[in-house]
Structure 1
Amino acid sequence: MTDQPPLLAPRSPRSLIVTFYGAYGRGGAGHPAGRPVPIAALIRLLGAVGVDSPSVRSAVSRLKRRGLLVADRTSDGAAGYGLSDAARQLLDDGDRRIYGRRSGRAGSGWLLAVFSVPEEQRHKRHLLRSRLSRLGFGTAAPGVWVAPAHVHDETRHTLERLGLDAYVDLFRGCHLGFEPTAEAVGRWWDLESLAAQHRVFLREHEPVLRRWARRRTVAPQDAYRDYLLALDAWRRLPYADPGLPASLLPADWPGSRAARVFSALHVRLRDAGARFVEPVLG
């Protein structure tokens, strides 16, 4: 799940549709592989998280115009929508961030992205900055962006796919001063804003996890609803938060706790929710 999807506002119909496809609409165990989702099924499944039919249809149209969804027919001739190849690749790439959260280790070094874009190609400069930001880079200086070294492969893949690699040089290195690295990190990233985003997630979804911990049985529709809402809220955070080493973060950093809460909800609810989705998809 990456690039275009994280731009969408959480809990908007478009965002929830992208989240649904990322969780349940790509084929494999628990749902029909490679088949479009009937529009009637999509309306019912989004209705379970509070989105009405007109909003679903409008959001699908917009996602189609953006090249994320493609119109198709199901095996019985019903109108449906599947993922475009580009959207499938974006979601597959995003899985590594959303489900395979990585944090840097102290001493593992930094990745520097140094770029220069000609003035007549200002739109590419804006695109490059937005992509680096969404990959978790902070700003060390104008035209110099920094991230933990572990994001190198994803950064290279993204820049090459978008045709932006010609404008960027990538370097690995260590921070040698003059201020302590923990203080420099506070300049490169807005840690207060990142912490606030994690706390919002915890405020909304930690009580959900506690409720599920007390339940002896799992109702599939309830599991689906709570999981989809949690995933929709969570999937932006691993992009905003680059996964800095714990030694460089404030002692009360809420990101690790937020990651544990999402992981526990994923284990508890994802497959249970699939038992609600499967009959609807038919």
Structure 2
Amino acid sequence: MGAESLDRTDPTPRPQSLMLTFLGNYVVRRDIAVFSGSFIEVFGRLGVGEHAIRSTLTRMAGRGLLARHRRGRRMHFGLTGRSERILLDGEARVWRRGAVNADWDGRWTVLSFTMPESWQRQRHDLRSRLVWAGFGPLGNGIWIAPSRVDVSEVVAPGGRDSGFAERVKVFHGTAEEPTDVGRMIRDAFDLDGLAAGYRAFLERWDRPEPLPAAPDDLARFLWMMTEWLGLVRVDPRLPVQHLPPEWPAVRAQEVLHELRARYESGARAIADELIEFVPVPCPGLASPA
């Protein structure tokens, strides 16, 4: 059954998100650059057209996420130091930390910041970085995260972020009485939105034959991992003992591991057959486009 038969009421993930999943599973740590035609062939299995793939490759190269490597008339794309860091962070979030925080030690990171009203862009940028790092807003410039977070990357000084570090204060500690931790979590984090994302994942994947219209296990694996990465990148790993009963991330993570065991070997065999590549220097030495 071809990729064109996929149910279009269930739209394919964005091409760049699929690309990052592919790179994280089949390119990172290999010091290779992949022929552009291989990307087209792989993502065509998910109904993503050639124009969308070429546009995605061009945009990612322009943003320093891919490095171009020409061999004769053929263009290949490899990782950069920046994209490798992003991919390794995603790998750690999925397989080492996971989505379920069942062993929380009760410690919080509390961050506060003040900025001039004219710093609207900088304020938006810092808030985006804080969400990425697992923080939620309590109001009045105070943000919390349910773990000990190293914020050095979040408030990295220099460049356009110059001045962040001087305007941020960070504390670590536990919540004391009369703090209602469950209520604080509900105030600072979008629990309904997080739960809805995991329930949508379960609706698609917690069934005997998930995504039956997909042509093979590579297509299923890429789709599943892309969807899961989208969830864990916005999930602050809240302590499960303070979450609503039957928190859907628990079952969703079980399904992820079950399906990984089912799909991974076959998906890798298909990917190895489809990928044409050339060896390149490690990403730290490759020159981005």
What TM-score, normalized to structure 2?
Answer: 0.81
Pick one of 16, 19, 25 that aligns with 1:17. 19
Inter-partner Cα distance in structure 1 for 2:12 and 2:140: 30
How far did 1:77 drift? 5.8
**How do 1:74-153 and structure 2 match up within 5 A?**
74=71, 78-102=74-98, 103=101, 105-150=103-148, 152-153=149-150
| Structure 1 residue identity aligned to 2:58 | S
Q: Any stretches of 5+ residues in structure 2 without a counterpart?
A: 1-10, 277-289
| Structure 2 residue identity aligned to 1:205 | W
| Greater relative CO (CA pairs within 8 A, separation 6+) | 2
| Structure 1 residue identity aligned to 2:15 | P
Inter-partner Cα distance in structure 2 for 1:142 and 1:261: 39
Contact 1:113-1:168 within 8 A present in 2 as well: yes
Hey, what does 2:46 align to over in structure 1?
49
Pick one of 63, 69, 73 that aligns with 2:66. 69
Tell me the percent identity: 29
| Structure 2 residue identity aligned to 1:173 | G
What SS does the aligned partner of 2:186 have? Answer: helix
| Structure 2 residue identity aligned to 1:47 | G
Hey, what does 1:37 align to over in structure 2?
34
How far did 1:275 drift? 0.4
Please give the per-residue CA displacement for 1:239-277, whole angstroms capped at 9, x wherever unaligned: 222112221000121011111111222233223211001
Residue 253 of structure 2 is aligned to residue 259 of structure 1: yes
Is 262-271 or 36-45 further displaced after alignment? 262-271
Please give the per-residue CA displacement for 1:25-66, whole angstroms capped at 9, x wherever unaligned: 224xxxxx2121100111001111211111111111111122
| Structure 2 residue identity aligned to 1:170 | V
Inter-partner Cα distance in structure 1 for 2:55 and 2:199: 32
Residue 270 of structure 2 is aligned to residue 273 of structure 1: no
How far did 1:120 drift? 4.2
Inter-partner Cα distance in structure 1 for 2:195 and 2:17: 22
Hey, what does 1:248 align to over in structure 2?
242
Hey, what does 1:6 align to over in structure 2?
none
| Structure 1 residue identity aligned to 2:198 | H
Alpha carbons of 1:145 and 1:266: their partners in 2 closer, same or farther (altered >3 Å)? Answer: same
Contact 1:11-1:233 within 8 A present in 2 as well: yes
Hey, what does 1:181 align to over in structure 2?
181
How far did 1:161 drift? 8.0
How far did 1:200 drift? 0.7
Please give the per-residue CA displacement for 1:67-88, whole angstroms capped at 9, x wherever unaligned: 11121135x7621111111111
| Structure 2 residue identity aligned to 1:121 | W
Contact 1:104-1:243 within 8 A present in 2 as well: no
What SS does the aligned partner of 1:145 have? Answer: strand
Hey, what does 1:168 align to over in structure 2?
168
What SS does the aligned partner of 1:277 have? Answer: helix
What SS does the aligned partner of 2:138 have? Answer: strand
Alpha carbons of 1:23 and 1:167: their partners in 2 closer, same or farther (altered >3 Å)? Answer: farther
Inter-partner Cα distance in structure 2 for 1:167 and 1:38: 45
Alpha carbons of 1:229 and 1:120: their partners in 2 closer, same or farther (altered >3 Å)? Answer: same
Please give the per-residue CA displacement for 1:211-266, whole angstroms capped at 9, x wherever unaligned: 37xxxxxxxx7111111000110002122221122210001210111111112222
Is 116-125 or 129-138 further displaced after alignment? 116-125
Contact 1:113-1:145 within 8 A present in 2 as well: yes
What SS does the aligned partner of 2:106 have? Answer: coil
Runs (4+) off by over 4 Å? 161-164
| Structure 1 residue identity aligned to 2:103 | R
Q: Any stretches of 5+ residues in structure 1 without a counterpart?
A: 1-8, 28-32, 213-220
| Structure 1 residue identity aligned to 2:139 | A
